[in-house]
Amino acid sequence: MMNRVFAVAGGTFRESVRDRLFYLVGFFGIILVGATMVLSPLTVGAQAKIVADVGLAAMALLGLLVVLLVGANMVRKEMERRTITTILTKPVGRGEYLLGKYLGLTVTLVCMLALMGVLYVVAVLLTPATLAWSHLGAIYLILLELLVLTAAAVLFSTLAGPALAAVLSLSLFVIGHLLDSLRDFGALAGGVRKAVAEVVFRLLPNLEVFNIRAEVVHGDPVSAGHLGMATVYGVAWVIVFLLLARAVFARKEL
């Protein structure tokens, strides 16, 4: 089974290379150089912080861009091209196909973040900041957040066209970062609104769990416990989204 999954994943990864997704790494480098050389004279003592902030934020945003442009389009594109029928007529199950597509994009994201991470480390070392292991923890959690969003994008991709799937994925990203505020708002409002807020809070992934960027930049320690719990939380949401995607895709007329 895993051979078939890896074959689909390999194809997805090669496709992302052909689509020149890795040019985004070059764009990331330009952003870092800009932050280091152009903004630094204006930062009044905050150069190290700003370079680190911009670097981590750019990684998260460019990764999100890949998820929205590629992940949300992944299944639908092959359905429209009819290439999916070619794949599924071979002994590849629909669940294996989805898992392969997901793993292929995961490998792409891992490679992209690894390359960006190297550039980031170089950029931070050029500033007066001290580079701690917690910076790698922050990059790891960015990856984890992107993997949750990718799984959601795969689900949306089986449900709707590329544009709507991208909008739904982006909406999940927005709501996922506002869940704490939504819950606070519900608690203040009381009544039905409180109940609704509580339901939404429990039904959607809280993406702030993966956001330790500000703490890391300020040199605050990040516990292994936090990384471990965030990993469990992220992997659980990935499983939920992929199982839902499999259930939807299994009933899909191709």
Nearest residue (CB) to another protein, 75 versus 179: 179
Give the integer Cα–Cα distance in Å for 101 and 10.
Answer: 9
CB of 240 to another protein, least distance (A): 21
Contact track, another protein, 144-173, x by CB under 8 A: -----------------------------x
Under rule CB under 8 A, residue 211 binds another protein:
yes
CB of 57 to another protein, least distance (A): 4
Chosen residue from 92, 95, 208, 240 binding another protein by CB under 8 A: 208
Nearest residue (CB) to another protein, 5 versus 52: 52
CB of 9 to another protein, least distance (A): 29
The string of DSSP codes covering 20-57 is TTTHHHHHHHHHHHIIIIIIGGGSTT-HHHHHHHHHHH
Q: What is the DSSP letter of 204?
A: S
Output the six-digit token pair for 101.
């597509």
Please, is 89 exposed, middle or buried when counting C-beta atoms within 10 Å of its C-beta (0-12, 13-18, 19+)?
exposed
Measured over the CA atoms of residue 241, residue 248, residue 16 and residue 99, the dihedral's sign is: positive
Contact track, another protein, 24-53, x by CB under 8 A: ---------------x--xxxxx--xx--x
Rounded (to 5) percent helix, strand, coil in the chain: 85, 0, 15
CB of 238 to another protein, least distance (A): 19
Under rule CB under 8 A, residue 220 binds another protein:
yes
CB of 167 to another protein, least distance (A): 15
Residue 120 has, within 13 A of its CA and on its CB side, a CA count of: 27
Output the six-digit token pair for 126.
């050029």
Chosen residue from 32, 59, 60, 124 binding another protein by CB under 8 A: 60
Residues in contact with another protein by CB under 8 A are 39, 42-46, 49-50, 53-54, 57, 60-61, 173-174, 177-178, 181, 207-208, 211, 213-215, 217-218, 220
